[in-house]
Chains A and B, each alone.
Chain A
Amino acid sequence: MESVILAASECDVSTEIICAPADVLELFYFKDALFSIGDFHFTRTVFLIFLAMFIVLALLYFGLRKGEKVPSKFGAAIESLVTFVKDDIAVGIIGPEGAKYAPYLLAVFMFVIVGNLFEVTPLINFPITSRMAIPLFISVVTWVIFVFVGFKKNGIRYFTDLVWPKSVPVALRWLVGIIEVVSTFLLRPLTLAVRLFANLVAGHLMLTLLLASGWIFMSSVGDIGLRAVIGLPWFVFGLAIYVFEIVVAVLQAYIITLLSAVYVQTSVHPEH
């Protein structure tokens, strides 16, 4: 956000209609560390990761606290969220043995939904899942789980059935095998990570550009006169996108959890 405003205010708004930042990729650079302990640089992103962790822990701790005979409204809401992940996603997709994957799926769901909703939280306005490291780490953990479960449940047949599928005509088996191996071991974790990353980066950029350009146009009424009127539609459009981004944040958290469950399911029952 700051970089866009800086880049836009550096250019001469009285002569140029559109101020392009000198280098769009500067939006993706890491900012200076708040403080450093050795090689560990504590940036704003790291701070928000820890904040998300504590929010998730607090939600689950206070929501599922023992001792209350009648759960409060808040407790009931958290409980229905946990039940949703456990029954609809874990058991619903993976099957009866899916209950033991429910803690991992719940952790992913809660962390990603809190991280995504940082995008539309006032004063934070930065989704931590738009840093590639976090979606990539989640998808690598999912990758390790489904490959490990696949080999544990099916032995070496998990791999050989992928490379040399018996259900396909012999002449085509090598081709299907190549496609299956590439899509299972390379494209699955890549798309799982990039889907979350791309949705959040696109939403964050859109919000930043629309709201910031609206703000810049409107806050310089005296300088540019009529052009300030242009800023108002941008600001209203930005607010509409703001509501849309709340839906996207929840939906993407649901989708990454759902797909993690589906990938585990294909390892538990490879024949389906």
Chain B
Amino acid sequence: MVEELKGAIALVGYGLAAIGPGIGIGIVVGNAIQAMARQPEAAGMARTTMFLGIAFTEALALIGFVLFFIA
């Protein structure tokens, strides 16, 4: 019984792990767009920082993805 459920539970766990980073990436990109709209001359810097912020926020979801395969 537990063996059969294991894959499904890991899938639900990955879904839960993706909630936080999803919200976080939304905040990062939203604020980056606002910064680019307010100061178009600083758009290049805002874009680089946005990608960095996305990359760091994404890490939690990626750990969840790995745990899904390990479980």
Contact = CB atoms under 8 A, between A and B. Distances in A.
B67 to A, nearest CB: 11
Given A255-B55, A259-B55, A194 B48 contact: no
A194 B62 contact: yes
A187 interface: yes
B65 A254 contact: no
Interface residues on B, range: 10 to 19
A254 B63 contact: no
B51 A187 contact: no
Contacts of A93: 48
Contacts of B51: 254-255, 258
Contacts of B65: 194, 198
A187 B59 contact: yes
Interface in B7-54: 48, 51-52
A252 to B, nearest CB: 10
A83 interface: no
A262 interface: yes
A79 B59 CA distance: 33
Contact of A258 (B48, B58, B63): B48
A157 interface: no
A195 interface: yes
B52 A262 contact: yes
B2 interface: no
Contacts, number: 29
A194 B59 CA distance: 9
B14 to A, nearest CB: 11
A54 B34 CA distance: 43
B47 to A, nearest CB: 11
A251 to B, nearest CB: 8
B55 A195 contact: yes
B52 A191 contact: no
B5 interface: no
Contacts of B48: 92-93, 258
B4 to A, nearest CB: 14
Contacts of A92: 48
Nearest to A191: B59
Interface in A109-142: none
B6 to A, nearest CB: 13
Interface of B: 48, 51-52, 55, 58-59, 62-63, 65-66
Given A194-B62, A198-B62, 7 more contacts: A191-B58, A194-B65, A195-B58, A258-B51, A258-B52, A259-B55, A262-B52
